[in-house]
Structure 1
Amino acid sequence: MKFSESWLRTFVDPALSSDELSHLLTMAGLEVEDQSPVAPAFNQVVVARVLEVVKHPDADRLNVCQVDIGQMSGTGTPVQIVCGAPNVVAGLKVPCALPGAELPGDFKIKVAKVRGIESSGMLCSAKELGIAEDASGLLVLPADAPVGQSIREYLDLDDQVFEIKLTPNRADCLSLLGVAREVGAITGAATKLPQVDAVPSTIADTRAVVLDAPAACPLYCGRIIKDVDAKAPTPEWMKRRLERSGIRSISALVDITNYVMLELGQPLHAFDNAHLEGAVHARLALPEEKLLLLNEQTIAVDADILMIADDAKPLAMAGIMGGEESGITLETRELFLESAFFAPAAIAGRARRHGFASDASHRFERGVDFGGTRRAIERATQLILDVCGGQAGPVVEASAELPARQPVRLRTARAEKVLGLPLGAERIAGLFKGLALNFTQEGDEFLVTPPSWRFDMEIEEDLIEEIARLYGYDNIPSPAPRARMAMLRQPEAQRPAYRIRQMLADRGYQEVVNFAFVESAWEADFAGKTEEADLIRLANPIASQMAVMRSTLIGGLVANLVTNLKRKQTRVRLFEVGRIFHRDASAQPVAGYRQPWRLSGLAFGGALPDGWANGGRKVDFFDVKGDLEALLAPAVLRFEKLDHPALHPGRAARILLDDREVGCLGELHPEWVQKYELTAAPVLFELEFDILKAVCVPAYAEVSKFPAVIRDLAIVVDRGLAFQALIDGVKQDLPGLITDLQLFDVYAGKGVPENKKSLALRIVMQDTQRTLQDSDVDAAMQQLIASLERNFAAQLRA
């Protein structure tokens, strides 16, 4: 929204400088995006009248002019000026720079001789004054311009142009009237709103108006104006205000409708009445209906577009743009003037759908003051009669149900709590009066009925925002936060999430954060979800490849690995902490969907960073297994064989803690290694995050000061027996002297029966109270051997 400061000050003129006014508007929520003078600095330029023009005796393209500059000459006599402008003629009124003047571009005027003829000044074009780009000739001023008056004063060149950036909810400020209301409410300055009286009708001509779509167009006013002079010139003051508001002057009739739109915020449209047939209808578009617009674009109108039409044809896209065939021209002698309220929902998005926008649609889709519809048509009618002449008929008005203005309750205590200010009900009442809000008050509570021009007041917080704006955001104190400090209890058996992340970082992993929306192919590959019913699809995905909620973190890590490999990274360690999503009818807080936290990691490349001493060994299953055991220590994890859609068969294990499955570990499946074009299989893991936060409290155990006894034992067992099952089987029968039992060799082959294998065990025995005797050691070994024979049919290997 662009406007000139001088135009605004005809409505409200606070005792503020331009910069102060700009700051005030910005702090009130009407951000001043740009503030610039309408003309650069220059001085000693006055209105002059050319009295006589004769050809220069020594130059074909120069003229010697006698110029009246009024009393600025000191004697009141004309001055002589040599001028080369092609449009200089006697009787013309133009700007004249006097000797001593400084024009834009550091151009100084002085008395000089031009081809032997003395010249005492310079007649100026608009470009030379810096107010336009036109340099084709002198800037021609109106015939009534007072000779000798400063051109800055006459053209109001000390004016400033403000451009404010409005949020969509403040459509009421898309007019000078709306901005003036704001300035008056904030500063308390008197607001002189334009006086609009009903124009008496002098002819009886009318045209019927029919609301065929009353929900989209609940109010429509129209009137016929005859005998207008469409070729009448637009007044200079109106042209200046339009141009400084960013609107090009076209013709008097068009300029007046644009002027009223800027002044009052009500878009208007004028039809050539001679081209209309029958009644004017506000209706929805007919099937396959087409319209030639004023921008010379023919469009096929969608069925939800609100149209203005007569009995025979469409005339305009309501609230957006008029039609070419019914538009006014310089030959128009009678017009049908429209002023209507179109529901924002009926206009929003329609112009952008067809690839264009208009000032009218910008206002209608945000909300126009339906209480000012009649006032706008009366204001435009009076201006048309003043500028173009003519005779006006009566206003025809058709109305339906207008938007209801629901009262909004405000509690003084609530406003004070939100803003942190001791306002009081009396002060709040004063602020509301400044905004011309209609309200009733009961004690400290207000019931405010929003005016017809405010579509953004619906809840209590909207009113609190108004109070804050009028009070002044920069007047609200900003005290330092005050809070009671307390040491939070940290259970010894719990560790914070950041500590888990730090432990992984210490082991060379880097954290990543991925979207929870993934490709459906990832769910099929890494979670085995091939049925549509198993997927959790988004109703409105942000991209086609992000349409499904993830049930595992593995897909995102594999994608991260692919990206790193494309950037020539050969050693990658990644982890992610995030939610996964499963269907669960009993889940809370989101009914039907369980959202547990998971920790997932990936290792690829060398087991150690490249170096001369590490031998280039690649990371394997057991490296990552060690990382997990360190992460959960002192808890003891168990690993059992697992079939998993994402992992290599035979190189994958489920992770158990206290006999409960808490995750998985393994190499990526060869099929996915090939599909995702990886050079080798990474090792992946995924764990329940909550079990990582729970840690075992260390229990004191006495450290023995006596030497340990170590014995080795080789047994033959069935080839299918897992070592973990063997340990679990003998745990209950394990002698108390045995403190550790490790597997250090597995052999199958010559000397071992078929379908059997040899396990070599290292047994460590120690007592905290005494040195062990051979008899103690032998008894413990016999007890262990007996347990192995009894539970697993184990035999000592010869």
Structure 2
Amino acid sequence: MKFSLSWLKQHLETEASLDQVTAALNTIGLEVEGVEDRGAALAPFRIAHVVEAAQHPNADRLRACKVDVGDGVIRSVVCGAPNARTGMKAVLGLPGAYVPGTGITLKVGEIRGVKSEGMMCSSRELGLGDDHEGIIDLPADAPVGVPYATWAGLDDPVVEISITPNRGDALSVRGIARDLAAAGLGTLKPFAPEKVPGVYPSPLRWVVEDSVACPWVLGRAVRGVTNGPSPKWLQDRLVSIGLRPINALVDITNFFTFDLGRPLHVFDVAKVKGDSLFLRPGRAGESFLALNGRPVAVTPEDLVIADAEAVESLAGIMGGEHSGSDGNTREVFIECALFDPVRIALSGRRHELRSDARQRFERGIDPALLPDALEAATAMVIALCGGEASEIAVAGAEPSWRREASLRFERIMGLGGAEIDAGTAVATLERLGFGVVARDAERVTVSVPSWRNDIAGGGTLTQAPALPAEKARAAAEGCAATEPECDLLEEVLRIHGLDRIPPMSLPVASPVPKPALTPRQARAVLARRTLAARGMLDCVSFGFIDGRLAAKFGDTPAALRLENPIAADLDQMRPTPVASLAQAAARNAARGYPDVALCELGAAYRGITPEGQLTVAAGLRTGGTPRHWDAPARAVDAMDAKGDALAVLAALGVPAAALSVTADAPGYYHPGRSGVVRQGPKVVLAQFGELHPKLREELGLPGPAVAFEVFLDAIPEPKRRKKGAPDLPAFQPLRRDFAFLVDSTVPAEALLRAARGAERSLITEVALFDRYAGEKLPEGKVSLALEVTLQPREATLTDAEIEAVGAKIVAAVGKATGATLR
């Protein structure tokens, strides 16, 4: 919201300086975003009279001028402008002045042998435009010696403030003046426009077909107008805030939009078909050309203003070119309406139309201002354009906006933290326009003014019931952000000064702060970092995929099918993130990148309940492993996927000794090159393997593809234990190797598990380091070599004790798997 200082003083009786005004705005919550004060930059430049302009004796394109600035001293100024002449009035900068358009500071100098004691400036040199053909040529009656900025009206600073969405009343100069007056910066001038008598019946009437979208509308015509450029004062007002003057009738509506926060619109009566203007929903196929030159196709969800033949305006947002006023307009109809804020916001968003009217209507305007605003606008139209007014055409009625709210005085300190006595608080509310209904030692009940739609739930236009004081009393211990008491408290505090509220620290619940992440969130972050450290690229994909593809990765119940998908091939919630990663890998392969390593931490959907949404750390590798100096490139296999899954589990604190692998992976994995990682017989922590060859072919993956899924929700949270002294045995560990002959169908995991359990007090680690099948072995047999680590704790092991442990290992493995020692 922009306004000039002189415009503000049309509503505020004050002697405050610009700095005082901006400081007060910041303290009452109307944050100043910027101040444009051209007058300050142009203060050193004065109106001068060129007494003599002679040809420079040493330069053909220069003039040697004698200049008077009204102080009785004739100065020598060298000027290169072609329009410099004797007797003209110009703008002169004296030595020491900073020229904003060039960035130089003037000083006394000598140009081609002639002394120069200043500079006569062009518009570009003063930063006022692009004209640099000559120096500024002022009228003959321009007063010599007067600061140019003052004479030209450029010493009127423009202030820009930011407005929060709840403060629609502050989108007007009068609303800002009211707040400053309440803060003690002056006195708000009264606003009571005289009624303009209607001398003839209105040529147009209102027909409202949607009273919810438009509960009240006024209008009146003015005939015999002469439309042309608006006067200079009005143009200056609009130009100062960045608006382009158009013509007097349009400029008047723009003026009141900012002056009172009351958007208006004018129709050329001669261009309106029929004798009625209809406020109705749009119809399919209707459109109109908006004032911004853009065609707008309206919908049944929009409220439009139409005549007997076509749409003339998108109500509350933008008018149409067809019925707009121009130089030929002789009779104009002024619209002054009240619209539903929600309908305006949705229509503006739907059509991507932004206007000053929409900005105010969607925040809520003063529902009681319509008659006075129409009278003021009518009076200005007649004053600037002539003519006579018609009777007022009315449809609907003023909505019920009156309501009350209460404030307990003890809450000012208890909740607001400010020492403000009851009398000051009540006086503050009265200066803001609240009327005292009842008051006692503990509380005050006030009536809310019509322009404060944000107080006590006044956002609705239809029936805003009065809020009894009992509602405030019900909040015994505090008040929510929407309670009327909090609204009043906020008003008292901000007018008191937000900078005067002492800062207070929140009470510390615990000397040790709580963790920023829950254990579940921390596991997710750690899993993602682990996969990234293994060279995988993190992906973020949709949780829904093509239903036909989803069926290849698991069940696709109808409950997980989207009723309104954003695309035809995104109609099913995915059963696993592997499906999304496979699609991404296929797209990369189609573009010449067959070797990728992708991962995603996302959801797998098995049902519509929260329990049916699983958090999964998934990954997929395709093609070959990267080339490296210490290992040749090779095709990826199921063991790569298993390694990724086990790395995630290890990072999350799952002990490898507690895991087992079974060969019952889902059908989208290769049946002989996949597995399921379990903790115990029932808990599935992960699954991995090569993708099924048929599935890989359908996806268009040219080479091998392996994937894994780690189900983070299934991983038990580690028990929190106090850290003790590190376990540092005093004796050296020793290692023994065992080679077993076993059926090729027996998994190596079974041997590892049996060996670990043979002597738990001594065996700390068992690892498979060799697998051999081939010559000198019976058919169907393989040799598996295990390395067993023994860690003595009480004393060094004797040979007999070592042999006894070895015998236990051989016996345990043989009993569990049928293996024999080679």
Bin of the TM-score, shorter chain as denominator length:
0.7 to 0.9
- The CA deviation string for residues 400-424 of structure 1, in whole angstroms up to 9 with x for no partner, is 4626466556666666566554556
- The CA deviation string for residues 257-291 of structure 1, in whole angstroms up to 9 with x for no partner, is 22222211112222333445423433334554454
- The CA deviation string for residues 110-144 of structure 1, in whole angstroms up to 9 with x for no partner, is 9999xxxxx99999876676545567899898999
The answer to whether the Cα contact below 8 Å between 1:582 and 1:595 also exists between their aligned partners in 2 is: yes
Matches of 2:283 and 2:550, distance apart in 1: 51
Partner of 1:661: 683
- Aligned residue-pair number: 756
The CA deviation at 1:605 is 8.8
The answer to whether the Cα contact below 8 Å between 1:527 and 1:551 also exists between their aligned partners in 2 is: no
Higher mean displacement: 688-697 or 658-667: 688-697
Partner of 1:54: none
Higher mean displacement: 429-438 or 509-518: 509-518
The CA deviation at 1:34 is 3.2
Matches of 2:807 and 2:672, distance apart in 1: 39
Matches of 1:111 and 1:623, distance apart in 2: 82
Partner of 1:56: none
Pair member with larger Rg: 1
- Give identity over the alignment, percent: 27
1:59-70 to structure 2, matched below 5 A, reads none
2:543 alignment partner, one of 500, 518, 541: 518
Q: Secondary structure at the match of 1:370?
A: coil
Matches of 1:274 and 1:495, distance apart in 2: 71
Taking a change above 3 Å as real, the CA distance of residues 228 and 149 of structure 1, as seen in their structure-2 partners, is farther
1:336 partner letter? F
Matches of 2:117 and 2:810, distance apart in 1: 129
Matches of 1:489 and 1:742, distance apart in 2: 40
1:686 alignment partner, one of 710, 724, 729: 710
Partner of 2:55: none
2:232 partner letter? E
The CA deviation at 1:82 is 13
Matches of 1:499 and 1:477, distance apart in 2: 41
The reply on whether 1:535 has 2:531 as its aligned counterpart is: no
The CA deviation at 1:711 is 7.5
Matches of 2:800 and 2:712, distance apart in 1: 44
The CA deviation at 1:642 is 1.9
The CA deviation at 1:394 is 3.1
2:46 partner letter? V
Matches of 1:192 and 1:228, distance apart in 2: 30
The reply on whether 1:171 has 2:141 as its aligned counterpart is: no
Matches of 2:624 and 2:776, distance apart in 1: 36
Matches of 2:434 and 2:714, distance apart in 1: 55
Higher mean displacement: 562-571 or 342-351: 562-571
The reply on whether 1:308 has 2:326 as its aligned counterpart is: no
1:535 partner letter? L
Taking a change above 3 Å as real, the CA distance of residues 563 and 693 of structure 1, as seen in their structure-2 partners, is farther
Partner of 2:449: 451
The answer to whether the Cα contact below 8 Å between 2:738 and 2:786 also exists between their aligned partners in 1 is: yes
The CA deviation at 1:244 is 0.9
Partner of 2:25: 25
1:681 partner letter? A
Partner of 2:382: 385
Taking a change above 3 Å as real, the CA distance of residues 127 and 636 of structure 1, as seen in their structure-2 partners, is closer
Matches of 2:249 and 2:423, distance apart in 1: 48
The CA deviation at 1:652 is 1.3
Higher mean displacement: 246-255 or 623-632: 623-632
The CA deviation at 1:651 is 1.6
The answer to whether the Cα contact below 8 Å between 1:31 and 1:165 also exists between their aligned partners in 2 is: yes
- The CA deviation string for residues 564-623 of structure 1, in whole angstroms up to 9 with x for no partner, is 999989796x766555443255x5xxxxx54444444567899899344x5667773564
Partner of 1:282: 279
Matches of 2:605 and 2:178, distance apart in 1: 52
Partner of 1:642: 664
2:18 partner letter? S
Taking a change above 3 Å as real, the CA distance of residues 272 and 111 of structure 1, as seen in their structure-2 partners, is farther
Higher mean displacement: 757-766 or 629-638: 757-766
Taking a change above 3 Å as real, the CA distance of residues 423 and 702 of structure 1, as seen in their structure-2 partners, is same
The reply on whether 1:11 has 2:36 as its aligned counterpart is: no
- The CA deviation string for residues 726-773 of structure 1, in whole angstroms up to 9 with x for no partner, is 8889999x79999799886665788747xx546668798999998649
Partner of 1:58: none
The CA deviation at 1:640 is 0.7
Q: Secondary structure at the match of 1:632?
A: coil
Matches of 1:731 and 1:107, distance apart in 2: 89
2:160 partner letter? E
Q: Secondary structure at the match of 1:348?
A: helix
Higher mean displacement: 475-484 or 373-382: 475-484
The answer to whether the Cα contact below 8 Å between 1:206 and 1:394 also exists between their aligned partners in 2 is: no
The answer to whether the Cα contact below 8 Å between 1:571 and 1:609 also exists between their aligned partners in 2 is: no
1:593-604 to structure 2, matched below 5 A, reads 593-600=611-618
Matches of 1:130 and 1:707, distance apart in 2: 88
Matches of 2:110 and 2:393, distance apart in 1: 66
2:261 alignment partner, one of 261, 265, 270: 265
Taking a change above 3 Å as real, the CA distance of residues 454 and 546 of structure 1, as seen in their structure-2 partners, is farther
1:348 partner letter? A
2:628 alignment partner, one of 570, 590, 610: 610
Matches of 1:358 and 1:559, distance apart in 2: 44
Taking a change above 3 Å as real, the CA distance of residues 728 and 677 of structure 1, as seen in their structure-2 partners, is closer
Taking a change above 3 Å as real, the CA distance of residues 27 and 142 of structure 1, as seen in their structure-2 partners, is farther
- The CA deviation string for residues 643-690 of structure 1, in whole angstroms up to 9 with x for no partner, is 324433212111121222322333331546563647543453413355
Matches of 2:393 and 2:528, distance apart in 1: 79
Partner of 1:590: none
Taking a change above 3 Å as real, the CA distance of residues 192 and 711 of structure 1, as seen in their structure-2 partners, is closer
Partner of 2:209: 212
Matches of 2:602 and 2:194, distance apart in 1: 67
Matches of 1:260 and 1:292, distance apart in 2: 24
The answer to whether the Cα contact below 8 Å between 1:597 and 1:690 also exists between their aligned partners in 2 is: no
The reply on whether 1:41 has 2:42 as its aligned counterpart is: yes
The answer to whether the Cα contact below 8 Å between 1:522 and 1:555 also exists between their aligned partners in 2 is: no
The CA deviation at 1:36 is 1.4
1:509 partner letter? R
Matches of 1:773 and 1:201, distance apart in 2: 119
Partner of 2:2: 2
The CA deviation at 1:339 is 1.7
The answer to whether the Cα contact below 8 Å between 1:177 and 1:193 also exists between their aligned partners in 2 is: no
The answer to whether the Cα contact below 8 Å between 1:518 and 1:547 also exists between their aligned partners in 2 is: no
Matches of 1:378 and 1:357, distance apart in 2: 27
Matches of 2:745 and 2:427, distance apart in 1: 89
Taking a change above 3 Å as real, the CA distance of residues 177 and 140 of structure 1, as seen in their structure-2 partners, is farther
Partner of 1:501: 526
- The CA deviation string for residues 465-511 of structure 1, in whole angstroms up to 9 with x for no partner, is 54554344433334456525456999xxx999469939974994378
Aligned residues: CA RMSD: 5.9
- The CA deviation string for residues 511-542 of structure 1, in whole angstroms up to 9 with x for no partner, is 8765473341499469724636263649686x
Taking a change above 3 Å as real, the CA distance of residues 606 and 112 of structure 1, as seen in their structure-2 partners, is closer
The CA deviation at 1:369 is 1.9
2:606 partner letter? H
The answer to whether the Cα contact below 8 Å between 1:581 and 1:596 also exists between their aligned partners in 2 is: yes
Unaligned runs of 5+ in 2: 52-60, 74-78, 458-481
The CA deviation at 1:639 is 0.7
The CA deviation at 1:300 is 4.6
Q: Secondary structure at the match of 2:160?
A: strand
The reply on whether 1:632 has 2:654 as its aligned counterpart is: yes
Matches of 1:365 and 1:35, distance apart in 2: 27
The answer to whether the Cα contact below 8 Å between 2:530 and 2:648 also exists between their aligned partners in 1 is: no
